[in-house]
Amino acid sequence: MAVQIPEDRLKIARLSRISIVDVLLWALRIGVLGVVIAGTIGTLINGRYGWTQWVDFVVFGLTLGSIYAQIALGYTMVYGVLRLINFAHGDFMMSGAFSAFFVANAFYRSGFLESHPVPALLCILITSMIVSTAVALLAERFAYRPFRRVVGLAPLICAIGVSFFLQQTFRGMFGSSIRAYPDPSWQRATISFLGIEVQAVELLVIGLAVLFMIGLYLIVQYTKMGKAMRAVAEDGDAAALMGIDVDKVVVFTFMLGGAMAGIAGVFYCFVYKQVYFYMGFTPGIKAFGAAVLGGIGSIPGAVLGGFFLGLVESVGPALFLDGLGIPGPYQLRDVIAFTLLIMVLIFRPNGILGERLGKKRA
C-alpha cells in the first residue's frame, strides 16, 4: 500500500536515528575500551609484573571486594525496600570501624589482642556490628522515617545530610586525625603457598566475608522476616495489603544493612589499618556503584558487583594504566573505580544481572 508522500514542511532529515550525543557516548565506550586494551597490551609486553604479583593483586582485589560487597549489601537491601539511596551507608561503616578501633586498642594495650586473637576478634566484630546497627536504626528512626512515602529528591538530600551529620559527629567526638589501628603479630602473618606469599589477614577477611554473606542469604531466604523483606522489595503496597508490617520490615532491613556495614568496618581496619571520620565516604560511593553493577535490589548481585569492583580496582592500575606509561598509576585507582561506576550508571543502570528494574523505576 502506498505510503503518503511527505509534505515539504516535514523534514525527514531531522529524523536522524543517531544523534551527536549517541556518537559521543559510543566514542566514550570505545575510548575506555581502547585505553583498557592498549594498557593491557602495553603492560603484558613490557612484562614488569611476575605472576606472583598478579596473584597478589587478585588476592588484594578479593579482599577489597569483600569490603565493597559487605557495604553494597546494605545499599541494595535498603534500596530494594525503600527506593532510597542511603548516602550515609558508608558512614554506618565508619561508625563501626571507630568502635572496632577503640575495642581493639584497649585489647592491644592489655595484651589480650596479641594472646587471644579469636575471642578478641569476636568481641571486635560484635561491637562493631552493634554500633553500626544502632547508628543505622537511629538514622532510620529520626531521618528517614518521615520520607517513607515521599518521591523525589528530598529523601536523597536528607540522606546526604545524614552522611554529613555522622561524619562531623565523629569528627567532633574523636577528632579529625587519622588513628592507627593496632597491628598485632597475627595480623602480620603471611602464608606461603606454591611460592606465593599471601597475608593471612586477607584470607581471613575473604573467608569471613563469604561466611557472613552465606548467613545473610539464609536469613533473607528462609526466615519469616527475610521473606517479608523480599515481598516488600517486590511490591510494598501489595505486601502491606497482605498484612506485612512494612515499618517492621524497614527496621529489620536497616538492622541487617547496619550489621553488614559494621563487619565491613572491621575489614576496613584490617586492610588499611587506620580509622578517620571521612573514611566511609569513598568506599560508600564505590559500593553503591557495585550494588548498581550487580543490579540494585539483588543480593547476589551486590556480592558479585562488590568483588568485581574490588578486582578491577586492585588489578586495574597495573594492568590498564601502567602499560600506557602513566606516572603513579596507583593514585588513579579511584579514577578507575569511579569510571566504572559512571559507565554502569550510564550504560547499564539495571546492572549486569539485568534486574526487572525497568518496570520498577519507570
Partner 1 sequence: MSIAILKAPSVSVASVDVARTLRMGLLLGGVGVYLAAVGILAMFNERWIIVGLLTLGYGVLGLVYLVAGMISARRGAGLMTALASGILSGAIAGLTVSVLGLVIGPFSLQSVFTQLNGKLADSLALGLAPLSGLLVMLGIGAVCGAIGAILRFTPLTVRRPLVIAALVTVTAGLFQELIQIMLQDGPLTPVQDLIYEWEGLTAQGAAIVFVVAFILALIGVQISRRRARAAAAKANADSGQSLTKMGMIFLVLVLLPLMGGNYIGQVLLLVGLYILMGMGLNLEVGLAGLLDLGFVGFFAVGAYVTALLTANHPMAILHLNFWVAMPIAVLASVVVGVLFGIPVLGVRGDYLAVATMGLGEIVRVLVVSDAAKPLLGGPLGITQVPKPAIFGYGLTTPIQLYYLTLVASLVAGLIAWRLEGSRLGRAWMALRDDEDVAAALGIDRIECKLLAYGLGAAFAGLAGSIFAVMLASVYPSSFQLVVSINVLALIIVGGMGSLPGVAIGSLVLIGLPELLREFGEYRYLFYGVALIFMMQFRPEGLMPSKVRKRELHAAMGETSEPAVPTARAA
Partner 2 sequence: MAHDTILLTNKVCCNFGGLKALSDLDLEIIENSIHSLIGPNGAGKTTAFNVISQNIKPTSGEIWFRGARIDGVKPHQVAEIGMSRTYQNIRLFANVTAIENILVGMHLHLRSTWWGSIFNTPATRADEKRAHDEALRLLEFVDLKGRGDIIARNLPYGDQRRLEIARALAAQPKLLLLDEPTAGMNPHEISDMMDFIRKVRDEVGVTILLIEHQMRIVMALSDKVTVLDHGQKIAEGLPKEVQGNPAVIEAYLGSGKLVPKKARDAARATLNA
Ligand X SMILES: Nc1ncnc2c1ncn2[C@@H]1O[C@H](COP(=O)(O)OP(=O)(O)OP(=O)(O)O)[C@@H](O)[C@H]1O
Binding site for ligand X (CB under 6 A): 358-359, 362
Cα–Cα distance measured from residue 213 to residue 139, given in angstroms and rounded to the nearest whole number: 24
Q: How many residues bind partner 2 (CB under 8 A)?
A: 17
Which residues would be at the binding site for partner 1 (CB under 8 A)? Answer: 19, 21, 24-25, 28, 85, 102, 142-143, 146-147, 149-158, 160-169, 171-175, 282, 285, 288-289, 292, 326-328, 331-332, 334-335, 338-339, 341-342, 345-346, 349, 361
Binding mask 18-37 for partner 2 (x = CB under 8 A): -x------------------
Q: What is the 3-state secondary structure (H, E, C) of the chain?
A: CCCCCCCCCCCHHHCCCCCHHHHHHHHHHHHHHHHHHHHHHHHHHHCCCCHHHHHHHHHHHHHHHHHHHHHHHHHHHHHHHHCCCCCCHHHHHHHHHHHHHHHHHHHHHHCHHHHCHHHHHHHHHHHHHHHHHHHHHHHHHHHHHHHCCCCCCHHHHHHHHHHHHHHHHHHHHHCCCCEECCCCHHHHCEEEECCEEEEHHHHHHHHHHHHHHHHHHHHHHHCHHHHHHHHHHHCHHHHHHCCCCHHHHHHHHHHHHHHHHHHHHHHHHHHHCEECCCCCHHHHHHHHHHHHHCCCCCHHHHHHHHHHHHHHHHHHHHHHHHHHCCCCHHHHHHHHHHHHHHHHHHHCCCCCCCCCHHHHHC
In angstroms, give the least distance from the CB of 297 to partner 1.
Answer: 13
In angstroms, give the least distance from the CB of 274 to partner 1.
Answer: 17
The site partner of 345 among partner 1, partner 2, ligand X, none (C-beta below 5 to 8 Å per kind) is partner 1
The site partner of 192 among partner 2, ligand X, partner 1, none (C-beta below 5 to 8 Å per kind) is none
The site partner of 5 among partner 1, ligand X, partner 2, none (C-beta below 5 to 8 Å per kind) is partner 2
8 binds partner 2 per the rule CB under 8 A: no
**Cβ distance to partner 2 smaller for residue 8 or 194:** 8
**Cβ distance to ligand X smaller for residue 148 or 356:** 356
Strand partners, 199: 190
Mark the segment that binds partner 2 (CB under 8 A) among 65-73, 94-102, 276-284, 351-359: 351-359
**Cβ distance to partner 2 smaller for residue 188 or 356:** 356
**Cβ distance to partner 2 smaller for residue 31 or 358:** 358
In angstroms, give the least distance from the CB of 309 to partner 1.
Answer: 12
The site partner of 146 among partner 2, partner 1, ligand X, none (C-beta below 5 to 8 Å per kind) is partner 1
Which spans of this chain sit near partner 2 (rule: CB under 8 A)? 1-7, 10, 12, 14-17, 19, 356, 358-359
